[in-house]
Structure 1
């Protein structure tokens, strides 16, 4: 039998390949004239039993004859046949076989049939494999590229052809980077080389890519690759699958962006910081550029108008772009008919897929349009920032150059995270509003301009805590007292917020009231302790009642000092507060060892007073604990830094105060706790400005007092005040003579006031009253009050002192 003039696939997987399939030759009458060894192996018939017999009589079961005859008819009509046919095995069982039959011509008109068969299971499996390969190359939506050992493309499928716009046979012989652009063409070739050399497969690697026919469209692809080898292990090349996952990637990126926005936006209660966080999340997360423009009241923490009114301020722009005309802090005009104006008017996002630059925009803001054109802006989303029904501002998102235009899903995502950011910005605005109100309250409760006193030179600093912590209850005060003395107080109320500031105001008012009574420092602190205990009792009462309890601050500390520039005596008492520091004129710095005392509000515990004499030019430093804790480090180290700064006491006091703040406070952030710092440099009144006399307890005491006063006023050049001062001295000495039982002391002090003091050993308090027309007395203190600016009484252990102050005449 000659060799048929036909070609069958020689693929190793082909069940009909010569040497693999069972072959037979039939003449035109259906008689077997050729039988292969493989046919004998599969069907059990040796060639001598088959050749010369009709195939249907030997190989076909009687029940399958109708099917066999139908096959013969089809083959005669078509000149060939392919299909599955049941064949009778030599042992009698039926075997499903797949056949290919083709008519061949020999010796002119003589026609024979060449059959090749294989088990049906192998044929079906081979058909599936062929269908799979055909599907991969012709119908698969996933791109397939086959690379040879030289890393050049051997074949690509229709998906690559459709995505790249290049015919399927065009890339053959090229490298993938020549028709599929990435950020850098090198990684595509390097990826194939790595798989080819190592045999390590590449699984679902995501990367950005662009095609040659559409370089402006950025796509995301998922690439997998494996090395191909023949049965002997020879490397044939690399198969690479490329799937376009752009939509899936964008959807995932949008969800990621929303999660990131939730985590990154609103980390602080600062309006500008929240706006910057919004811009940094949006660009480059969703856009190439993002700007956040807010109404001015939002930044100031003011109330917002119900309608859109006021200028927009550029609060944030990301990433920084020097060519943009409106940088942070600039006023941004709202152009009519612009997407920003429309989104605010309609209160919804406005999407401009392909931005059209209207002529009227050029006329109003040509520079802005020129910059947009220079950046290559082609797509825009404008989103209103709205919270609780009020407009806060607008967010603008731009895409430039090769970026894809915005889609509706992008606008939805921008609206989503902008809405969340708007709530955070409004919360920050409300917090700023509360902080401003609390700071206004606090500053109104703290002293304004400090008085110019003859006893001391004073410098002070008050630094509120950071916005997140809220204002605290630290305070200080300088209180002029009688006899040219002065009181200093520094205190700290526990907690933060407006309630701490209100409690601080109550305590400061109480200190001033107690100071006006000229009480000793330990007595002042003890009465403050009673006041704080009363506040705590009020809170407990509110908590037990049906009324909602008002939050109160229950704990406080303070230090109170009184300095006398005549005697140079300083008396101090403290309640759980850091001890003051004393710097002597020679530069020695010591922490005063005065008893600590319990914090205010504990009740029932005593407070002790500490006395010391201060040389002229001594520096007394009082502060709250926030000064030592400002940098969050070791308090002992901070205290040592403070002492080092205070050794420079020869510097001007304001310079020293500034140096202390600069040395102990962090420069990159505000402190986490309020800080109050009070520094006082002592002075001593010259002896020639003080006159003291001991008057005998006899009837001539008032007359003697008038004589001494007149002479001293003449010496001081204050004779014009002699008449008034004589009346005052006469009345005070007379009362001391009438109601006292010991010696009387008269003292005159000249400062910016003329101070007159009369001391006796009695503790009886004089009272001012209005005498009736029928009364013979009771008008003395009334005259004293009318002739002087201030008068009062202070008590000591051995008596009392009645004092008056008269302003000196203009020099």
Structure 2
């Protein structure tokens, strides 16, 4: 019996308990604790920099999910954002940073901040990616003399930026080395959007192109990172096919559809992060939109005020008529005096009231403080005082000056 007991192997826990730890075991334990700590910090930083709640916007319903890498891999630099834009439009962003860990999460935060800043200038998607590429290139040049042994995470990062306009129902998209989004039609058919693919960010001096896509009423846009498509047993084409099939499954809400897609395509931990952003846009009808083409005649300013007041009365917003008429009067007068070409007045009713005046000039007005004896220079100052915010965006045919007014509806 003794020989039998001595020859039988001991359980691992008894062996570990009876034998002292070697220096190699101690080193492995320290590395494991360090890795766990760094992974926790990277995940906390990643989640703190991503949007915490679904963005509520009158033009689009959104839902998003971020799934960190599993299987012992550190968190990566996947990110998404929903950016409110003037004119009731909305920007949709998805990006992927090279690498994993704390540095990738910090790089993701810098890129998201840069995209937010460039979106505030109201740049078209292809121009925004061009400026973002310039920022990364210049930042990399500043550290060119300090080799660190690794490529910065923003060099080779990918990004997709889309701007949806609920008035026209058009989505303008541009991408820098990023997978193209999927469009699901109301009848259930789906497919990858055919659009140009620009180079990854940080390569410098390479062009980006945009594509315009009509999103039908009731359609759905799916933006994602490549971690959702590819696995060890699945290539990109198979991943796109599986994604389209999963997006066609019935769901009670966009949040439920996000969970269904992740459960279908990512049932096991992935070696890469996964980000999914679903957006269901809506189209503004005539009950929320009014526009007029105005002749270039100073006498038409009074007609513009009258048209705006009549439209507000139809919308049940007569209390806002005084401020709206003031904004219309100042913006139309500026267009008459300092711009050329056709003038267009547009009112958009959403959670706020947006007044837009478009003209054919590319010269942008600026806010200045008029002196006591100046006869002009106070128009934009009054617009800024009576509206929530105002600004200028450039178009292919000129510019649009807009003012956003808070509504006090019952």
Q: Same fold, TM exceeding 0.5?
A: yes
2:308 paired with 1:704: no
Partner Cα separation in structure 2 for residue 727 and residue 588 of structure 1:
48
Counterpart selection for 1:758 from 357, 361, 375: 357
Partner Cα separation in structure 2 for residue 502 and residue 763 of structure 1:
37
- On the 8 A contact 1:701/1:734 being kept in 2, the answer is no
- On the 8 A contact 2:393/2:401 being kept in 1, the answer is yes
Partner Cα separation in structure 2 for residue 425 and residue 773 of structure 1:
75
- On the 8 A contact 1:484/1:751 being kept in 2, the answer is yes
Partner Cα separation in structure 1 for residue 47 and residue 187 of structure 2:
36
Counterpart selection for 1:611 from 212, 218, 225: 212
Paired residue secondary structure (1:785): helix
1:576 Cα offset (Å)? 1.1
1:616-631 alignment runs, 5 A limit: 616-630=217-231
CA-to-aligned-CA distance 1:55-84 (integer Å, 9 cap, x gap)? xxxxxxxxxxxxxxxxxxxxxxxxxxxxxx
1:551 Cα offset (Å)? 6.6
- On the 8 A contact 1:770/1:779 being kept in 2, the answer is yes
Counterpart selection for 1:773 from 350, 372, 390: 372
Paired residue secondary structure (2:141): helix
Where does residue 282 of structure 1 map in the other structure? 13
CA-to-aligned-CA distance 1:335-365 (integer Å, 9 cap, x gap)? xxxxxxxxxxxxxxxxxxxxxxxxxxxxxxx
Distance change in 2, residues 1:632/1:787 (3 Å): farther
- On the 8 A contact 2:71/2:270 being kept in 1, the answer is no
Structure holding more strand per residue: 1
Partner Cα separation in structure 2 for residue 806 and residue 534 of structure 1:
39
CA-to-aligned-CA distance 1:448-492 (integer Å, 9 cap, x gap)? 223211211111111111273211111111111111111111111
Where does residue 728 of structure 1 map in the other structure? 327
Where does residue 39 of structure 2 map in the other structure? 435
Partner Cα separation in structure 2 for residue 528 and residue 649 of structure 1:
38
CA-to-aligned-CA distance 1:337-396 (integer Å, 9 cap, x gap)? xxxxxxxxxxxxxxxxxxxxxxxxxxxxxxxxxxxxxxxxxxxxxxxxxxxxxxxxxxxx
Paired residue secondary structure (2:64): strand
Partner Cα separation in structure 1 for residue 6 and residue 116 of structure 2:
74
Counterpart selection for 2:127 from 517, 523, 531: 523
Counterpart selection for 1:562 from 163, 178, 196: 163
Counterpart selection for 1:718 from 286, 292, 317: 317
2:243 paired with 1:676: no
Partner Cα separation in structure 1 for residue 138 and residue 301 of structure 2:
46
Where does residue 579 of structure 1 map in the other structure? 180
Q: CA RMSD in A?
A: 2.2
2:80 paired with 1:476: yes
Unaligned runs of 5+ in 1: 1-180, 183-207, 210-217, 221-248, 258-279, 287-396, 398-409
Where does residue 15 of structure 1 map in the other structure? none
1:649 Cα offset (Å)? 6.3
CA-to-aligned-CA distance 1:230-287 (integer Å, 9 cap, x gap)? xxxxxxxxxxxxxxxxxxx9xxx9xxx9xxxxxxxxxxxxxxxxxxxxxx7333x36x
Distance change in 2, residues 1:767/1:435 (3 Å): same
Deviates more, 1:458-467 or 1:650-659: 650-659
2:51 paired with 1:447: yes
Where does residue 640 of structure 1 map in the other structure? 241
Larger Rg: 1 or 2?
A: 1
Partner Cα separation in structure 1 for residue 319 and residue 164 of structure 2:
31
- TM-score, scaled relative to structure 2: 0.93
Distance change in 2, residues 1:550/1:788 (3 Å): farther
- On the 8 A contact 2:330/2:380 being kept in 1, the answer is yes
Partner Cα separation in structure 2 for residue 619 and residue 649 of structure 1:
13
Counterpart selection for 2:394 from 784, 787, 795: 795
Distance change in 2, residues 1:746/1:662 (3 Å): same
Partner Cα separation in structure 2 for residue 761 and residue 507 of structure 1:
34
- On the 8 A contact 1:493/1:556 being kept in 2, the answer is yes
Higher relative contact order (CA 8 A, sep 6+): 2
2:348 paired with 1:749: yes
1:11-410 alignment runs, 5 A limit: 181=1, 208-209=3-4, 281-283=12-14, 285=15, 397=17, 410=18
- On the 8 A contact 2:160/2:174 being kept in 1, the answer is yes
CA-to-aligned-CA distance 1:717-746 (integer Å, 9 cap, x gap)? 111111111111111111111101122111
1:586-605 alignment runs, 5 A limit: 586-605=187-206
Partner Cα separation in structure 1 for residue 389 and residue 347 of structure 2:
15
Partner Cα separation in structure 2 for residue 631 and residue 664 of structure 1:
12
- On the 8 A contact 1:456/1:683 being kept in 2, the answer is yes
Counterpart selection for 2:118 from 514, 533, 548: 514
Paired residue secondary structure (1:531): helix
Partner Cα separation in structure 2 for residue 697 and residue 542 of structure 1:
59
Partner Cα separation in structure 1 for residue 251 and residue 329 of structure 2:
45
Paired residue secondary structure (1:606): coil
Partner Cα separation in structure 1 for residue 326 and residue 228 of structure 2:
51
Where does residue 502 of structure 1 map in the other structure? 106
1:617 Cα offset (Å)? 0.8
